[in-house]
Amino acid sequence: MSALFLPLDVSTLSRPDEPFSLNVAEEVPVSLLFNGIFPYGTMMMTPADLKDFAYGYCMTERIVASVADIRSVDVAETQDGLSLDISIKGAALTRLMRRDVRMRTGHSSCGICGSETVPAYDAVAATPLPDGPRLSVAAIRGALHELRGWQTLNAATRMVHAAAWADRNGNIHMIREDVGRHNALDKLIGARACHSDADALHGGFCLLTSRYSFEMALKTIRAGIAVVVAISAPTYRAFRAAEKMDQTLIAVARHDGQTLFCGGRRLVW
């Protein structure tokens, strides 16, 4: 497996004669193969938590209906990077092979890359988002304050995105990091789905260190995530998707200030 980051000797333009070492995050091509016979595409990502990514990607791309449709995930090294051989049940494989699949070489898992159509606002999820318990604003602020301490790869490189899961009390229980914000979210969704029996993963909320674009909204809504807290702002299309699907969206979120865009009924002050 590749290293997650590598040191480089660099210098500033103001002091070129004083070099110093800087850690930069690794980015490798990861090829997706289904059932050993059906090549799907290649993603560029941080080479960590790849099985989580496989589960999350298959769910948010609607390749499978649930984690039960995935039999196994095998990670192997290739000449140019890594490969994920994902074994899925026959019915899911048949549906996948009938799609008009476009190779996604060089892209992160953006949710609609290569698609011929963009989903309508009210057609992005099969079931309504759960009501869940009401969350306190104090819990959300507590999670935002705690988030930086969980970003170990970003602490070393200052250049990767993160997606984290916090419980209803604001305690963070898991985080996934990646050079691609879509990849980080897929990794979190996959990890959460594989540990869905844990009480702490029910009724909480998702924290994102990136902007909340429409593709990110698609992924969280398809994963049944009712509350999202994003460090940066949402795009208008993402906001409209959250609003239409009755998702609680808090963005431009810092430890000292947050903006409620929609879904305030799940919050208490």
Instruction: Give the residue numbers annotated as catalytic, written as ranges.
Output: 110
Q: Provide the 10 A C-beta neighbour count for residue 177.
A: 26
Phi, psi dihedral angles at 203 (to 5 degrees): 75, 15
Distance of alpha carbon 140 from alpha carbon 204, whole angstroms: 10
CA dihedral 147, 159, 216, 52 (to 10 degrees): -80
Q: Can you say how many angstroms the Cα of residue 22 is from the centroid of all Cα atoms in its chain?
A: 26
239-253 exposure pattern, b = at least 16 Cβ within 10 A, e = fewer: bebbebbebbbbbeb
User: In this structure, what token pair is assigned to residue 46?
Assistant: 């941080």
Q: Quick check: 249 and 212 in contact, CB under 8 A?
A: yes
Q: How many CA atoms lie within 13 A of 25 on its CB side?
A: 20
Q: Provide the 10 A C-beta neighbour count for residue 196.
A: 10
